[in-house]
Structure 1
Amino acid sequence: MRIELPFRELNRLLGGGLVRGSVVLMSGEPGIGKSTLLLQSLAGIAAQGEVVLYVSGEESPSQVSMRAERLKAGGESLYFLSETELGQIISHLDELSPAALVVDSIQTVHSAEILSAAGSVAQVRECTGLIIQWAKSKGVPVIIAGQVTKDGTVAGPRALEHLVDVVLNLEGDSLGVYRILRSTKNRFGSTNEIAVFQMSEHGLEEALEPSMLFLSGRPVNVPGSVVTVAMEGSRPLLVEVQALTSTTVFPQPRRTSTGIDFQRLLLITAASTKRLGIPLGNQDIIVNVPGGLRVAEPASDLSVALALISSYKNVAVDSQLVALGEVGLGGEIRAVPHIEKRLTEAARLGFKSAIVPRVQAEEIEIPGIKIIGSSTLGEVLGKVFPENID
């Protein structure tokens, strides 16, 4: 049996809601919005008439109360406890018998039976284990907030992620408005799914149409801008790939990528230079995916190549075109998975044409969108820039 949260996207991410007795680990950088999302989620459960408890070892009651007022996340059945000693927390839990629990954060909780300081490997492992034992015995879902280290991993033992049932990572720029909640482990649903949120003065608001969110503000008829369709779990997302090339003034040209795998950028640059004769070796290259999304799959290769060529030639790509395909070192365009699902989403959002691998173009037909098959980068160049092939 599951408990529904107030966010439809979060329920989908969890596989249909919180499973009773499950333990969810939510990690993220400081200031990214973990506590806000957790408080909103718990308030949504309280609004259903359930007794819930928010345990914080980082903030005082007055601080949490101020945030709850700003978020309009309150209620008579939402309880707060400022405590870091695990024995005291368990005593309050046994007395209150909540239907759901949030612990923010696990690195601040300590057990009197362990001599090391709070946040140490031994303390995090022991406290997490006891919380899991309590959750399973009572059938109460628990969400644990976890701090992350400088390299983005959850602070504490690696075994922490193995102990819990679900691992969620909240990503994004703390100075920006977009937040991406990514599922990396889920015993009750699919993994590598994402939910997109937007930060506002009233807290986090879910984006039910994330593709439109990522494409909002996209410039039209500007060189270096190409749209592709990325797969995040089972969901297709349309995203813009931006590229900028300029003749370097340094002995060694710079290569910078944000949201695109750097090694794939080097591969695409080398293939474009060698197979198309485009002299990118003396160009500074900057590639960016707006919105904070990371596109790691090879299916975005063709969009990166087109964005580079478009910027170098200073010729815009059709704003109603999407590009899909993996680029090989021989300049060949290789097949990508879930091609029909990607193109269906592109057609739904009004895109009129798509450059795809020729081997797949012959097998699919999507109403409302023209499928253009190509086998090599040279073919793509001739179809996208017919008057600027040289």
Structure 2
Amino acid sequence: MPKNKSIFVCQECGYESNGWLGKCPSCNSWNTFTEEIQDSSMDLKKKNVFFDVKPVNINDIEVENEERYSTGISEMDRVLGGGIVKGSLVLVGGDPGIGKSTLILQICNSIKTNSKVVYISGEESIKQIKIRADRLGVRNPNLLMVSETNFKAIQVVCEREKPALIVVDSIQTMFNEELSSAPGSVSQVREITAGLMRIAKTNNIAIFIIGHVTKEGALAGPRVLEHMVDTVLYFEGERHLSYRILRAVKNRFGSTNEIGIFEMKDIGLIEVENPSMLMISDRKENVPGSVIVSSLEGTRPMLIEIQALVCPTNFGMPRRMATGIDYNRITLLMAVLEKRVGMQLHNYDAYVNVVGGLKLDEPACDLGVVGAIASSFRNKPVDMSTVLIGEVGLTGEVRAINQIDKRVIEAARMGFKNCVVPAGNMKAIKQIKELKEINIIPVENVVEALSILL
């Protein structure tokens, strides 16, 4: 009988080695290798398997429309691309205490289906889940609770109940007794995720997996975990703040740029239907360094306030700090202001902040950042009723952006009177029929824009 072989596996990326290594050659992480026993008898069984696979002509394949059902939460449906797809495998990750289990439990209560929903918890007992369910007002008669960590037992429950939705909380607590490694290891996570995927595809059951994240903010476990599932959602936000953002970073059935915004309250997570009003509601009047930009998250336009503070430095090297926006982008735009506009910023500290905890990564907000920095430097406020939209190039030009119609319509809907846009977008703006009572100001470069704003 062959002996079992011992291998060492990196718990960050899944790299395998015959011996222990201090530093992983794949992901460069230190002290992440753990020993796992490889069962040789399983390899012998696999060698004797015979497969008879017949290929199918692509023109003979009949495809029906994707079967979806609503979660009952419009923000969640938006991020998923219209609802839950039957047979899909969805991974939800986020920091501890951010509200992942609360969100999924609310989905189990409001989901638009008459079939059973099974909630499998490996971290809490069913009585602990019941306490949270009572606080959230969960009363779905089709919701079944299971407290189990053995994957074989979970398979039996799924085959017997045949639910429409299965929730696994969390994947790091589940184990397969055929593997000798501990729960949460790379082998366990990879094997159990593959088993859940087979259950989802074979029985046409949607499965939600809740996953932990590392201290760097990435999902714990091997990267192959994200490749195996159909959808990867990140639940973001500060635990000490009330607002949460649900972001799709992978979605085989919808856009990967959509976000959903929630507010954490005593009764659970409440949808924020008008995020533009939320982001600009506390804005102070006539304050230098504050501007409004129109950003696009997926298909949703949002008005966001950008604040800047520019003050003389007390050291030889001025400080540059950015929150919610790329630091390198701030440095680049300040260089444009120095070279093309003539602002002597090399002796000034600069601090830029995106209000509300959002992260802006699209270049359409460049003109807003430039306007906020220039406003603070000259100590002149930008008109409260003006929205800035545009990308700034290294030569100081304001370049055209995509989907200008949605951005301008959102600004008009929120009652803004002026909208500074790139001159290259004027042809598309003239075709917008919904525009009323808003003045469109086209600009070609940064100097022209600042002469209008300040």
- The TM tier, using the shorter chain, reads over 0.9
Instruction: Give the gaps of 5 or more residues in structure 2.
Output: 1-66
Ranges of 4+ aligned residues in structure 1 off by more than 6 Å: none
2:429 is paired with a residue whose SS is: coil
Pairing of 1:105-254 with structure 2 (within 5 A): 105-254=170-319
- Do 1:103 and 1:143's aligned partners in 2 also have CA atoms closer than 8 Å? yes
Cα separation, 2, equivalents of 1:148 and 1:362: 46
Post-superposition CA distance 1:27-53 (Å, at most 9, x none)? 1111111000000001113x7543211
What is the aligned partner in structure 1 of residue 109 from structure 2?
43
C-alpha separation between the residues in 1 aligned to 2:81 and 2:359?
23
Q: Which residue of 2 aligns with 1:61?
A: 126
- Give the residue type in structure 2 aligned to 1:376: N
Maintained 8 Å contact 2:243/2:261: yes
Is this contact kept in 2: 1:361–1:372, CA < 8 A?
no
Deviation of 1:96 (Å)? 2.4
1:276-314, Cα deviation, whole Å (9 max, x unpaired): 121211211111111121110111001001000111111
Root-mean-square deviation (CA, aligned residues, Å) is: 1.4
- Return the offset for 1:97: 2.2
Q: Secondary structure at 1:307's aligned position in 2?
A: helix
| Native 8 Å contact 1:215 1:239 kept in 2 | yes
Corresponding letter in the other structure for 2:402? P
Q: 1:291 aligns with which of 332, 336, 356?
A: 356
Among 14, 26, 30, the residue aligned to 2:92:
26
- Equivalent pair of 1:362/1:373 in contact (CA under 8 Å): no
Structure of higher CA gyration radius: 2
Alignment partner of 1:144: what SS?
Answer: strand
Match in the other structure for 1:352: 417
Shift of 1:139: 1.1
* Partner SS, residue 358 of structure 2: coil
Amino-acid identity (%): 49
Match of 1:85 among 147, 150, 157: 150
TM-score by length of 1: 0.95
d(CA) in 1 for partners of 2:243, 2:154:
34
SS in 2 for 1:76: coil
On the 8 A contact 1:357/1:374 being kept in 2, the answer is: yes
SS in 2 for 1:211: helix
- CA–CA separation in structure 2 for the residues paired with 1:16 and 1:342: 22
Q: What's the TM-score, normalizing by structure 2?
A: 0.82
Per mean C-alpha deviation after superposition, the further-off stretch among 313-322 and 248-257 is 248-257
Structure 1 residue aligned with 2:382, among 317, 323, 334? 317
Displacement of 1:74 after TM fit? 2.8
Distance in 2 (alpha carbons) for counterparts of 1:340 and 1:44: 34
Q: Residue deviations 1:160-182, cap 9 Å, x none?
A: 11111111111111111111111
Aligned residues: 384
SS at match of 1:204: strand
In 1: Cα distance, 2:164 partner to 2:429 partner: 49
Q: Distance in 1 between matches of 2:123 and 2:317?
A: 47
Matched, 1:369 2:438: yes
Q: Does structure 2 conserve the Cα–Cα contact (< 8 Å) formed by 1:53 and 1:100?
A: yes
